[in-house]
Structure 1
Amino acid sequence: MKASILIPILFAGSGAIWISFGANPKLEFSKRIAKSKDRTSTANKLLEIGKDNPKDFEIYRSRQILLSALIGFAALLLPVFLGKPPAIGLLFAIFAASLTFVAIDQDLSKRVKKQRIMIDAEFPAVIEMYSLALSAGETPLVAMERIATSANGTLAKEFMRVVEQVRNGKAFHLALDEMGRGLDSLLIRRFVDSLIIATLRGAPLTEVLQRHAQEAREAQRNRVMGAAAKAEISMMVPVVFLILPISILFALWPSLANLNLISGV
């Protein structure tokens, strides 16, 4: 009975794929991925984590769809092998495939959020190094190249990308603007705007960068204080709902026991 259900499912799935994608399924699959509606938002997220190749979106989406399809197919077969009705297997497969698809998107969003936190944490130290290099007489591009080659971290890699774009013939302010748009960070955006305006108009950079470094330090301190406040509240939950009731119980138990003895007498 199981084989009689499984074999038609396999043939039906193969036929559906053949009808949908034609004689060249790989090419048709890539075309449909390239035309997906959420390409821009997903591509921007991939760009933030350093995947700037145009093929990275297709690779990411292909893996996401294939993994969801495999898990959905496995979820479809499981109820069949257990002797359950095929309708249950179909519902279970749709649920498992959808959950896998959403989970992969959520994982990408978490990686992007972690990347933004790392960049905001690195920004004060990097901007101070950049300000010192400019104070020593280096040009903005040379100072950025020095930081990119000597420092470690995500922001240093972004600086190196700007330097490489300038070497390839792109204007410095355009490369900076692209970096600011690619990184969804208010601190980076303000820094880039100030640097572009100062570079184009010949304004002094050292004071502007020092002010940005001070603001970044204050923003980082506020984030740490906010995280500490949230941690303090979360630590109060086991104290209030676990330790405190047990302490009250131990304090009241002797009195309750004595009252029971008195009432028994």
Structure 2
Amino acid sequence: MMYLTFFFTITLFLYGLYTLRADKKKRVKARLSSVFDKDTDQKSEPIVDEKKSRYSLKPLFQFAWKHLRKLFQRKRTNEKEEKLELKLLQAGNPFGMRTAEFRLVQLTLLILFPLACVGYGYILKMPIGGITFLVLVGVLMGIYLPHYYIKQKSKIRNHLALRELPDFLDLLTVSLEAGLGFDGAISKVVAKKQGVLSSEFHRALEEIRLGKTRREALLGVRERLLVDEIRTLMSSIIQAEKLGIGMVQVLRVQSNEVREQRKQRAEEAAMKAPIKMLFPLVLFIFPSLFIVLLGPAIIQFVQTFQ
């Protein structure tokens, strides 16, 4: 009975996450179709979906999810909320998670992992000490695994942003040389190019339209992308705007520096390759060669002395 309950709990939780994400996409499509599509047939589709959804479990999951999210939002302090929100922004908000949803997922894993460890120990008929150790391991996994996932997503995102930076700077420089303003050039590049940098600068443009200054929006990009080259670029753009220096010249210099730094990183990785190859050579290849080359000689030597 315990295994059946555990299986249903995990299944319902995963189904709730999936339906919540699908429902968000469906609502966005319904709003877009209501604005841009004027055909009566297209407008009637969301109504049919609403009738079908009355007999599904989606409203129940949405109701429980909203109340749990509100409960977690009340119990968190502002300082911790801001730090966690910044970490999620640096990771690109995976699965559209906010701070309350991340805490809820962390609590769910904190409950599921120890239960899974208890069930695993019970199946293997382990002693109490072993089951207790597995429960502690499950608790640690439930606490640190979400943070580790966010950290890895942030690293991957920063790496992708660093790879996209030279081409992004070249397109931005060409747009400025064509006569566009800085905001217009960024919007043009964002519309033509996809990636991490495009999404971040699109967010900066939206913040500028909502009332933030350009300096605050660029500082926000620098906080969300933990890359030294991007931080230097944002500082150079802010300083050029403050001192009245030509933006094209600044971006051209930054583009050349970024490409030179990428060349240096490639040379550094090439210089590290022989050292990294040394360990598998010593541990795996050299022993095999010694066995093949020296094995017959050792066997003959032993037979001669016998």
Same fold by TM-score, threshold 0.5 exceeded? yes
Q: Which residue of 2 aligns with 1:207?
A: 249
- 1:98 alignment partner AA: L
> Does 2:77 correspond to 1:31?
no
Q: Which residue of 1 aligns with 2:182?
A: 140
Per-residue displacement from partner, 1:4-57 (whole Å, max 9, x unpaired)? xxxxxxxxxxxxxxxxxxxx977544433x2397544432221113339x9701
Higher mean C-alpha deviation, range 241-250 or range 205-214: 241-250
Structure 2: runs of 5 or more not aligned: 3-66
Distance (whole Å) between structure 2 residues aligned to residue 85 and residue 253 of structure 1: 47
- Give SS of 1:239's match: helix
Higher mean C-alpha deviation, range 179-188 or range 84-93: 84-93
Q: Which residue of 2 aligns with 1:117?
A: 159
- 2:192 alignment partner AA: S
Distance (whole Å) between structure 2 residues aligned to residue 92 and residue 253 of structure 1: 45
- 1:122 alignment partner AA: E
- 2:187 alignment partner AA: E
Conserved? CA contact 1:80–1:86, under 8 Å:
no
Q: Which residue of 1 aligns with 2:92?
A: 50
Alignment root-mean-square deviation, CA? 2.9
Per-residue displacement from partner, 1:104-153 (whole Å, max 9, x unpaired)? 21111011011111111111111111111111211111111111100111
Conserved? CA contact 1:173–1:196, under 8 Å:
yes
Give the alignment's TM-score, normalised by structure 1: 0.78
Q: Which residue of 2 aligns with 1:185?
A: 227
Distance (whole Å) between structure 2 residues aligned to residue 79 and residue 120 of structure 1: 45
Structure 1: runs of 5 or more not aligned: 4-23
Q: Which residue among 261, 278, 287 is the counterpart of 1:236?
A: 278
- Structure 1's 82 and 180: CA in aligned 2 closer, same or farther, altered over 3 A? closer
- Give SS of 1:224's match: helix
Aligned length: 241
> Does 2:151 correspond to 1:102?
no
Distance (whole Å) between structure 2 residues aligned to residue 70 and residue 80 of structure 1: 15
Give the alignment's TM-score, normalised by structure 2: 0.69
Q: Which residue of 2 aligns with 1:173?
A: 215
Higher mean C-alpha deviation, range 199-208 or range 103-112: 199-208
User: How far 1:217 sits from its partner (Å)?
Assistant: 1.0
Q: Which residue of 1 aligns with 2:236?
A: 194
Conserved? CA contact 1:30–1:58, under 8 Å:
yes
Distance (whole Å) between structure 2 residues aligned to residue 55 and residue 262 of structure 1: 73
Q: Which residue among 30, 55, 60 is the counterpart of 2:102?
A: 60
Distance (whole Å) between structure 2 residues aligned to residue 147 and residue 80 of structure 1: 58
- 1:239 alignment partner AA: L
5 Å-filtered alignment, 1:152-163, equals 152-163=194-205
Distance (whole Å) between structure 1 residues aligned to residue 115 and residue 302 of structure 2: 63
Distance (whole Å) between structure 2 residues aligned to residue 60 and residue 150 of structure 1: 33
Conserved? CA contact 1:198–1:205, under 8 Å:
yes
Q: Which residue of 1 aligns with 2:24?
A: none
> Does 2:282 correspond to 1:226?
no
Conserved? CA contact 2:69–2:100, under 8 Å:
no
- Structure 1's 93 and 165: CA in aligned 2 closer, same or farther, altered over 3 A? same
Higher mean C-alpha deviation, range 254-263 or range 199-208: 254-263
5 Å-filtered alignment, 1:63-74, equals 63-74=105-116
Conserved? CA contact 2:173–2:252, under 8 Å:
yes
Higher relative contact order (CA 8 A, sep 6+): 1
Distance (whole Å) between structure 2 residues aligned to residue 85 and residue 243 of structure 1: 42
